Each structure stands twice: as structure tokens, then as C-alpha cells.
């Protein structure tokens, strides 16, 4: 298997812990049946803390990538190749049991924050999950690139809070990576995905600014 890809900086440990706490808190808030003085106080605290933190943060769509890699006014780009849900609560978290060049498998449980129909996962979040986990597999296998297409087929509703399993099989050509993925609850097939990604090269990626340092030139391979 080729060396794994990495593009961007690692998130802070605090950012990872924050994502887990916010995801859990959101699930709790969504489950409340009436107004709570505790939540009202928390909202005020969050707004005040956000105002203070923004004094030390660069909250802007502009990122330190490419021509802006050395721009101190641009935002640090965090590595989106793997484990996005670990630092961004808007993305689901999953775990791998196996990652090989041609296949991978793992498990996931969707909490209430990803609910669509009553008791089931919103289909859009299933698409986000497949796009993220397939890209993760590609980056770890060492041949990855932008998503060219993603087709989702929903067979059965995907339940919230259940232990689910997924499998990915992929083929690589000179120009393209084609991945076929499936999500199961036990032996029941819930949905499938087919993704086509460009077969890129890390040397062709733009330079990325580092935390507290100038850009090194190009994306790095994980060791």
C-alpha cells in the first residue's frame, strides 16, 4: 500500500474535545421538551466565550492554501483527509476495523444530531458519511483526489443509535478511483454508495501554510 496522504494541519486536542462535547450537548438540547434556565445560561456563556475567542482566531473563508499559504490574515487549514468528525461536530464519526489498498471496513453509530425522519438518519448525512469515509480510505491507501461523483441508493431507513457496519471496495486506474461502499445493520443492507474520485498525486497539491510557520511547499505524506 502506498504512503498515506495528509493535507493541512492536525487539529488541536482541545478542538477534538470540543467537537465531542458539542455533539453530545446538541443531542441533549434536541431532546429537551421545554425551556430550561440551564440552557439559557449556557447560550449566554457560549456567546460571550465566542466573542472572546474571536479576538485570537481568524474566522474567515480564506485559508492558508495555494497563493495565500503565507498570508497571516488567512485561516489555518485543518487536515480534512481523515477523521473530520473528530474535530468538526457537523460531520459524523466512524471507526475502521480494516484499511487495505483495495478494501476497508468499520463501524458507525449515528446520534440524534443526524436525525431526519423520526428515529432515522437524514439521507444527506449518509451521503456526507460515505463521501468522508471513502476519501479517508483513499488517503490512507495513498491514491486519492477530488470527488467527481457520488451516487447513493437507499434500501432501508437507517436507524439512529444503532451499531452499524460498513464495507468499501475500490479499484484504481491511472486517472480514477472507483469505490463501492455499503452500510449494514447486522445482515440487513441499509444503503450503498458508488464514488468516483480523481487519482491525484500529492506532489500536485498546492502549498499549505503551517501553524506558526511559513508554508513548506507542498502537502506531506504521513509516515
pLDDT tens string 49-67: 999 999 989 999 999 999 9
Of the two residues 142 and 109, the one the predictor is more confident about is: 109
CA distances from 53 to 46, 48, 73, 146 (A): 10, 9, 16, 33
Residue 18: all three cell numbers together: 470540543
Number of domains in the chain: 1
Question: Which residues, listed in sequence order, are joined to residue 159 by a DSSP beta bridge?
Answer: 120
Report the predicted TM-score, pTM, of the whole model to 2 decimal places.
Answer: 0.89
Dist CA 127 CA 130 (whole Å): 5
Dist CA 103 CA 141 (whole Å): 9
> What CATH number did the domain enclosing 111 receive?
3.10.129.10
What confidence score (pLDDT) does residue 216 get?
Answer: 47
- Any idea how long the chain is? 223
CA distances from 17 to 13, 48, 50, 85, 132 (A): 6, 20, 16, 11, 20
Residue 157: all three cell numbers together: 431507513
Instruction: Print the SS3 string covering 76-115.
Output: CCECCCCCHHHCCCCCCCEEEEEECCCEEEEEECCCHHHE
b/e map 182-196, b = 16+ CB within 10 Å: bbbeeeeebbbbebe
Q: What is the rounded average pLDDT for all residues in the chain?
A: 92
Assess whether pLDDT exceeds 90 at residue 4. Answer: no
Assess whether pLDDT exceeds 50 at residue 96. Answer: yes
Of the candidates 169, 163, 176, the residue with the CA atom closest to the CA atom of residue 133 = 169
Question: Quick one: how many helices (H) and strands (E) in the chain?
Answer: 3, 8
* Domain limits for position 198: 5-221
Average pLDDT over residues 110-122: 98
Amino acid at each position: 500500500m502506498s504512503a498515506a496522504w495528509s493535507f493541512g494541519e492536525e487539529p488541536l486536542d482541545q478542538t477534538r474535545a470540543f467537537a465531542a462535547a458539542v455533539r453530545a450537548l446538541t443531542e441533549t438540547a434536541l431532546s429537551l421538551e421545554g425551556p430550561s434556565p440551564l440552557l439559557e445560561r449556557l447560550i449566554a456563556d457560549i456567546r460571550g466565550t465566542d466573542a472572546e475567542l474571536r479576538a485570537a482566531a481568524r474566522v474567515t473563508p480564506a485559508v492558508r492554501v495555494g497563493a495565500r499559504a503565507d498570508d497571516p490574515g488567512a485561516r489555518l487549514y485543518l487536515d480534512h483527509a481523515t477523521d473530520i468528525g473528530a474535530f468538526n461536530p457537523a460531520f459524523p464519526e466512524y471507526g475502521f476495523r480494516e484499511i487495505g489498498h483495495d478494501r476497508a471496513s468499520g463501524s458507525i453509530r449515528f446520534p440524534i444530531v443526524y436525525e431526519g425522519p423520526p428515529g432515522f438518519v437524514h439521507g444527506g448525512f449518509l451521503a456526507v458519511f460515505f463521501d468522508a469515509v471513502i476519501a479517508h480510505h483513499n488517503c490512507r491507501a495513498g491514491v486519492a483526489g477530488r470527488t467527481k461523483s457520488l451516487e447513493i441508493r437507499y434500501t432501508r431507513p437507517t436507524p439512529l443509535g444503532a451499531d452499524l457496519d460498513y464495507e468499501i471496495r475500490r479499484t484504481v486506474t491511472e486517472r480514477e478511483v472507483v469505490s463501492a461502499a455499503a452500510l449494514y445493520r447486522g445482515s440487513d443492507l441499509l444503503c450503498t454508495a458508488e464514488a468516483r474520485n480523481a487519482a491525484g498525486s500529492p506532489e500536485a497539491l498546492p502549498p499549505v501554510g503551517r501553524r506558526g510557520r511559513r508554508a513548506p511547499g507542498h502537502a506531506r505524506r504521513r509516515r
